[in-house]
Amino acid sequence: MADDSGFTFNFPAIRGRKITAAFDGGRLTSDGGVLLLAQAERRLGIADRLAACIADPRDQNRVIHRVTDILRARILAISCGYEDVDDLDTLRHDPGFKLALGKLPGDPLGLASQPTMSRWENAPTTRELVRLTGAPVDLYCASYPVPPAVVTLDIDDTVDVVHGAQQLSFWNGHYGERCFLPIHVYDTATGRPVAMLLRTGKTPSGKEVARHIRRLVRRIRRHWPDTRITLRGDGHYGRPEPMAWCEANGIDYIFGLPGNRTLHADPVVREGDACATDRALQGLVELRRYAETRYAAKTWGATKRRVIARIEASSLGLDIRLVVTSLAEGSAERIYDTLYCARGQAENLIKLHKTQLKSDRTSCRSANANQMRIILHTAAYWLMWTVRRAMPATAALRTAEFATIRLRLLKVAARVIETASRIRIAFASACPDAAIFRSVALSLRATGP
């Protein structure tokens, strides 16, 4: 096929001077920030971790692209906003991406192509995928220089609408779509991803939740045997099976709890009536109170657990929200407002993963291939998180979303100049974020291997 990148096109003239353009600038990259991601990847070693979980049956004497490089290129592309594997057919000759993978810009051999990437997305067996799914958990634990005394992990599921007759797709009446409901787990206080698991589109049962929690905690305990772990989740996870398992294994929890007549009875109902009355008498727009009780549902057997109620009276009526917890210490207000409500940040982290890194692009027919995609997108999350973490504490981008960081630091044009003795990367002189780009590059280099 003829290369038409050199065909010219015009823009409106300025002061009588004709403006013509063509994509013939030579060795340029529009993703100069991919080199920052490459430094972050070398620091984490995530491509090596994932590649070590996959068997490579190829004759190594004839291999051109190692599995590590194939996965690394895919992860870097996802981070830069190229979530479709098809984009690699063009990016495989991009000088920025070639440098990020340790290849010379002038090397006629490019990176792995789309068919090669697709084959390796579909290659892992179920047994290998189990190991691959555990690799991000190991990376999460390794990201702490020493085991923390306490961590709080948020577990939640999110809708992932399917695009065809894919394995594990299921009709969900709440969302009105055929979908997956993958489970996401985050260390919300630091923004670190912990584990992501593709699953069918129906609400998880208590037994299923208990199985997932058991595998996750056992993996973490290999690294942190003495760390106190607290799990947070909404009402999907406030089931007797996960609560019983947590109590038997020394794990604390705070889970949402659906209301019922029994729970809305004394003392909750008394506090609710008093709250509504006081709001009306004082002429307040709204008034919030807290109450707690010991409660045991029929499915819980004889085990009574601490249930906390947040009661809010307003002109719209009375709103009561409930949580169940294993924590014996702390007031009802602190447990609900300070501890439980903090899990709302996990929704923002899911948005970074699903919307800004496009991890909902699970369009393969095979469930194994879609799980592999989620793992690769989680690896991209780690790269973006590491780049953000390397910024100065006072930098505005330190708290920016991934889409903003990509726009400001990754989508940076650069000319790559290769000579016999060195390679020079010339960024735009007017780059508005040149100072922070330089700071991040130096920080990642100083902390890297």
Whether 251 maps to a domain, the answer reads no
Per-residue pLDDT tens digits for 103-145:
999 888 889 999 999 999 999 999 999 999 999 999 999 999 9
Q: Is the pLDDT assigned to residue 449 strictly greater than 50?
A: no
- Give me the mean pLDDT over the 80-107 stretch: 92
Number of structural domains (the chain) is: 1
Range of the domain at 50: 26-115+378-447
Amino acid identity of 223? H
pLDDT for 2 equals 45
Task: Give domain status of residue 425, yes or no.
Answer: yes
| pLDDT tens, residue by residue, 52-81 | 999 999 998 999 999 999 999 999 999 999
Q: What is the pLDDT of residues 347-388, one digit of tens each?
A: 999 999 999 999 999 989 999 999 999 999 999 999 999 999
pLDDT of residue 5: 56
Q: Would you state the pLDDT for residue 332?
A: 93
Average pLDDT over residues 280-292: 91
Return the HEC string of the chain.
CCCCCCCCEEEEEECCEEEEECCCCCCEECCCCHHHHHHHHHHHCHHHHHHCCCCCCCCHHHCCCCHHHHHHHHHHHHHCCCCCHHHHHHHCCCHHHHHHCCCCCCCCCCCCCHHHHHHHHHCCCHHHHHHHHHHHHHHHHHCCCCCCCEEEEEEEECCEECCCCCCCCEEECCCCEEEECCEEEEECCCCEEEEEECCECCCCCHHHHHHHHHHHHHHHHHHCCCCEEEEEECCCCCCHHHHHHHHHCCCEEEEEECCCCCCCCCCHHHHHHHHHHHHHHHCCCEEEEEEEEEECCHHHCCCCEEEEEEEEEECCEEEEEEEEECCCCCCHHHHHHHHHHHHHHHHHHHHHHHHHCCCCCCCCCCHHHHHHHHHHHHHHHHHHHHHHHCCCCCCHHHHCCHHHHHHHHHCCCEEEEECCCCEEEEECCCCCCHHHHHHHHHHHHHHCC
The answer as to whether 309 is a domain residue is no
In a domain, 128, yes or no: no
Q: What is the pLDDT of residue 389?
A: 95
Banded model confidence at residue 18, pLDDT cuts 50, 70, 90: confident
pLDDT in tens, 233-250: 998 899 999 999 999 999
Q: Is the pLDDT of residue 180 over 50?
A: yes
